[in-house]
Structure 1
Amino acid sequence: MDLGLAGRAYAVTGASSGVGLATAALLLADGAHVAACARDADRLAAALDPLPRAGGARVHARACDVLDADAVAAFVDGAAADLGRLDGVVNNAGRSLMAPVAATTPEQWRAELDLKIFSVLHTVRAAEPHLRRSDAPAIVNVNAILARQPEPRLAATSAARAALLNLSRTLAADLAPIRVNSVCLGLIDTGQWRRRYESSGTDASYEEWSAGIAAERGIALGRFGRAEEVAHAIVALLSPRASYITGSSLDVGGGVARYA
């Protein structure tokens, strides 16, 4: 099915790897222009350069710290000027802090909230004037199932994710007709999990090791997700074909849903 993305332009933060890179790749393959940012310009360029681009799709890439409002505004305005338009934004920049409440410092709490909330607010505020000129404007905030299903070992990240989910629903009401939705991730196969496997000292293969974790976490499909599986959900919500979906959240977690 044609998603109606060709010729449109979308900004993706945290685009040098993982879900952000997979989303940029899928958009380009569908003929959409992509504005991509990450903190490391060289790594970003190396990741984006090999991606196939359909129908003359172009890339605007720039190093950007999403916690710097001025840098975000420069990235978004430059992208809209270079690509001639901006139809959507994917707020993907993020990380997790592995620590329980007692081991999380006040500074770490603030850092988690800054990254999960202000990175989104900076991007949305910069993008809003450009999105208002689109006939199908959309924002997708990449979140986590932790927003509804917190884990004690990820105390600050869980709380910040919950705040972002709440904020996303508020933005959906405030920014309409710009659509705002969330994609909430479960365990996704990323470099972080590969590094944990390599330092685990296990004799099991990565597939066996990750399947064991999936079973322990109650993932019905019995495995980690892949970045491209998340990207398909993000791109579907960006698409004009999702024109009556806003204020919603979609779990991409292989069936893990212990929350009510």
Structure 2
Amino acid sequence: MDLGLRERAYLVTGASSGVGLATARLLLDEGCSLAVCARDGDRLARELGPDGDRLVTTAADVLDPEAVARLTDAARRRFGRLDGVVNNAGGSLMAPWPDTTRTQWREELELKLFSVLNTVEATLPLLSASDAGAVVNVNAILARQPEPRLAATSAARAALLNLTRTLADDLGPRGIRVNSVCLGLIDTGQWRRRHEAEGGALDYTRWSARLAADRGIPLGRLGTAEEVAFPIASLLSPRSAYITGATVDVGGGVGRYV
């Protein structure tokens, strides 16, 4: 199926690994132009290649509004347009609430909210000029199903889900759609690092299957970054022109809400 993405331009944050990298690769394969950023600019360039007619790579912290503005301006100068944004920068703080400092609470909220606000504010003029402006916020099932071991992250994810709905309502009249993709356990570097930290008594396949069973994932395994990239690209697509304010779960059925 042609998603109608060819020759459009998108901005992807946190694109040096995991879901961000898989999304960037898929969009390039679809014939898109991309402006991408990550804090590790060298890794970004190694993974996606040198800048060219269809690619702008920049080392940037999305919590710095000026850095995001520079990336947006680079996209405008290179591509002359911007049709969508994938807000993927983020992380998780493994700590129950009694062990979470006030500073950590603030940092989690700032990362989950201002990383999105900064990109939306910077790109709004270009998105408004597009005939298919779209924002996809990569979130987590934690937003609706909090995890006590991730207290601050769960709360911050819930705040982002709420913000996404607000942005969808506010930007819809301007022709800009805003949606969420909420992730469960995805097989990215963090889980492999945790497997190594535990000593690797089981091989990774059996260890991750046991993890999936422990977390109650009906499909019995972790997801892959590529399995997340496709729903993201689908929500960016003009074929999804009547979808906004929606949430797509990519979690193997781990969500227990209805």
TM-score (norm 2): 0.97
Whether 2:148 is the aligned partner of 1:152: answer yes
Whether 2:89 is the aligned partner of 1:93: answer yes
Cα distance, 1:214 vs. partner?
0.3
Contact map agreement 1:139 1:181 (CA 8 A) in 2: yes
Cα distance, 1:22 vs. partner?
0.3
For 1:251 and 1:157, locate their aligned partners in 2 and report how far apart those are by CA, in whole Å: 17
For 2:145 and 2:211, locate their aligned partners in 1 and report how far apart those are by CA, in whole Å: 17
Whether 2:47 is the aligned partner of 1:47: answer yes
| Percent of pairs with identical residues | 69
Cα distance, 1:259 vs. partner?
2.5
Unaligned 5+ residue runs, structure 2?
Answer: none
Which residue is equivalent to 2:233? 235
Contact map agreement 2:53 2:78 (CA 8 A) in 1: no
For 1:218 and 1:12, locate their aligned partners in 2 and report how far apart those are by CA, in whole Å: 31
Which residue is equivalent to 1:223? 221
Which residue is equivalent to 2:157? 161
Give the superposed CA RMSD: 1.3
For 1:80 and 1:243, locate their aligned partners in 2 and report how far apart those are by CA, in whole Å: 23
Cα distance, 1:153 vs. partner?
0.6
1:8-27 map, 5 Å: 8-27=8-27
The amino acid across from 1:125 in the alignment is: E
Cα distance, 1:203 vs. partner?
2.1
For 2:205 and 2:224, locate their aligned partners in 1 and report how far apart those are by CA, in whole Å: 13
For 1:113 and 1:85, locate their aligned partners in 2 and report how far apart those are by CA, in whole Å: 31
Contact map agreement 1:28 1:57 (CA 8 A) in 2: no
Cα distance, 1:32 vs. partner?
0.5
TM-score (norm 1): 0.96
For 1:259 and 1:121, locate their aligned partners in 2 and report how far apart those are by CA, in whole Å: 28
For 1:50 and 1:37, locate their aligned partners in 2 and report how far apart those are by CA, in whole Å: 13
For 2:123 and 2:189, locate their aligned partners in 1 and report how far apart those are by CA, in whole Å: 30
Structure 1 runs of 4+ aligned residues shifted over 3 Å read none
Please give the per-residue CA displacement for 1:135-172, whole angstroms capped at 9, x wherever unaligned. Answer: 00000000000000000110000000000000000000
Among 46, 61, 79, the alignment partner of 2:75 is 79
Which residue is equivalent to 1:116? 112
Cα distance, 1:129 vs. partner?
0.4
The amino acid across from 2:95 in the alignment is: A
Contact map agreement 1:32 1:57 (CA 8 A) in 2: no
- Which 10-residue stretch deviates more, 69-78 or 147-156? 69-78
Cα distance, 1:57 vs. partner?
6.7
1:174-189 map, 5 Å: 174-176=170-172, 177-189=175-187
When residues 252 and 50 of structure 1 are mapped into structure 2, their CA distance, relative to the original with a 3 A threshold, is farther
The amino acid across from 1:18 in the alignment is: G
For 1:214 and 1:247, locate their aligned partners in 2 and report how far apart those are by CA, in whole Å: 29
For 2:57 and 2:202, locate their aligned partners in 1 and report how far apart those are by CA, in whole Å: 39
Unaligned 5+ residue runs, structure 1?
Answer: none
Cα distance, 1:110 vs. partner?
0.4
For 1:129 and 1:50, locate their aligned partners in 2 and report how far apart those are by CA, in whole Å: 27
- Which 10-residue stretch deviates more, 151-160 or 74-83? 74-83
For 2:158 and 2:47, locate their aligned partners in 1 and report how far apart those are by CA, in whole Å: 31
For 2:50 and 2:76, locate their aligned partners in 1 and report how far apart those are by CA, in whole Å: 23
Whether 2:139 is the aligned partner of 1:143: answer yes
Cα distance, 1:50 vs. partner?
8.4
The amino acid across from 1:119 in the alignment is: S
**Structure 2 residue matching 1:203: 3-state secondary structure:** coil
For 1:204 and 1:170, locate their aligned partners in 2 and report how far apart those are by CA, in whole Å: 45
